[in-house]
Structure 1
Amino acid sequence: MQRTAPPTLGVLLAGGLARRMGGGDKPMRTIHGRTILERASERLDAQCDGLILNANGDPARFAASGLAVVADDVPGFAGPLAGILAALDWAAANRPELEWVASAAADSPFLPNDFVARLHAAREAAGTPLACARSGGQAHPVNALWRVSLRGDLRHALVVEDMRKIDRWTARHGVAHADWEAEPVDPFFNANTPEDIAEAERLVDVHGETR
């Protein structure tokens, strides 16, 4: 696939507690024999100039993915903003030539193949440093594009202001929205429960593997 977007690091966010799945790592659940992580990684990696995984705890459990595992360094369970900050810091330290990070939920098996390009197009058109995915009119704040240079402000918001809501922080800087259709398959479908896994398998049966 020819890339038209600026060079961008991808990060899959797997820092959640998976309470609705009964604990454990949601991305390691399988849909027709392939883990959700494998599905999400395959789609996002093809669009990015490198891919990492944000996860807490023992990184060895993700060894089969071959991805660098980056943990939160904000105290406590600070939510997805802490994972995004970890990715921005990792990019600054390890890939300083990259100005952008695209994040996606690691429990999303149907990420669109134009995810990164459309986020960049939306933020360029709006003149904002941030962009967020939206499907069927619903915004998905963790599926977004971030400018690495904003990491200092984000750390201050998390550590000093105890800010946890993504929307509150992105509103400070300006965030564009990139839109996708939610039918017949929502590209930002989350596998949060065992019932969601069954629904994902049904969607693959009906609509196939690609989008």
Structure 2
Amino acid sequence: MGSYAAVVLAGGAARRMGGVDKPALPVGGRSMRDRVLAAVADAAPRVLVGPAEAVPPGVRITREDPPGGGPVAATAAGLALLDPDTTRVALLAADLPLLTRAAIGELLAHLDPDGRRAASEGAAEPGRGAGPAGPQRPFDGVCFVDADGRRQSLCGVWRVAALRAGLDRLTAERDGDLAGASVRALLGGLLVGEVPWGGAGPPPWFDCDTDEDVRRAEEWVR
């Protein structure tokens, strides 16, 4: 797969589940958080942003500022712990119990210019990363897209420089306050590759926002 890092966002409020520590909930006898970390076991470093009592050895832990400040603030905290020479990072929600290493490998392959399939930048024509007379530029990131065309932005792989540029832009626009900023705003202007899932099994981006979602995930992993 080549070298990459992983930032796992685990600081959500889980309001629809009564405010529980959602990533710590077990699916198939293992917490969702640990399942996501296992899917990126070959990433270096692995960074968990959010509360955690116990994580696998070598995982770096941090918190967003302020705690509960949302995914963009959490992304900024996670990127701050990456090694200086890191160029690619998997940015993942911690409630993706069906995520696999194969799915991460699929994303990494599509981030490569030679492996891209379709791209979109706002309302741009799919597959176009530059003008008709110029070469296509590499994707700034890729993420899975579901059957309805919705991007699963927190199940993607991104170029670190592009994310940092987006964070710098948002920080300036919001007078230094990233709390409550949307992922859509962070990724605005980036050239994003949209990857449909073609593998076997359930979609790797399936997230658990309700108790019913957790039950469905349990059925899938049996």
TM-score normalised according to structure 1 size: 0.79
Q: Which among 7, 18, 31 is matched to residue 22 of structure 1?
A: 18
Q: Is the 8 A contact 1:15 1:79 kept in 2?
A: yes
Q: Which moved more, 1:162-171 or 1:138-147?
A: 162-171
Q: Partner amino acid for 1:99? A: T
**Structure 1 unmatched ranges of 5 or more:** 206-211
In the TM superposition, what are the counterparts of 1:151-166 in structure 2 within 5 Å? Answer: 151-162=163-174, 164-166=181-183
Give aligned-pair identity as a percent.
Answer: 28
- Rg comparison, structure with higher value: 2
CA distance in structure 1 between the partners assigned to 2:81 and 2:26 by the alignment: 28
Unpaired runs of at least 5, structure 2: 117-137
Superposed displacement of residue 23, structure 1: 0.7
Aligned partners of 1:120 and 1:160: how far apart in 2? 30
Residue 89 of structure 1, CA deviation: 1.8
Q: In structure 1, how many angstroms separate the alpha carbons of the residues matched to 2:76 and 2:156? A: 13
AA aligned to 1:100 is R
Question: Counterparts of 1:99-138 in structure 2 under 5 Å?
Answer: 99-125=87-113, 126=116, 127-136=138-147, 137-138=149-150
CA shift at 1:173, angstroms? Answer: 2.5
Alignment of 1:62 onto 2:53: yes
Count of residues in correspondence between the two structures: 192
Aligned positions of 1:185-200 closer than 5 A: 185-200=202-217
Deviation >6 Å, runs of 4+: none
Provide the secondary structure at the position in 2 that maps to 1:187.
coil
TM-score of the pair, normalised by structure 2 = 0.75
Q: Kindly tell me: are residues 157 and 27 of structure 1, through their superposed partners in 2, closer, same or farther at Cα, counting changes over 3 Å?
A: same
Q: CA RMSD in A?
A: 2.4
- Aligned partner letter, 1:69: I
1:160 aligned partner, one-letter code = A
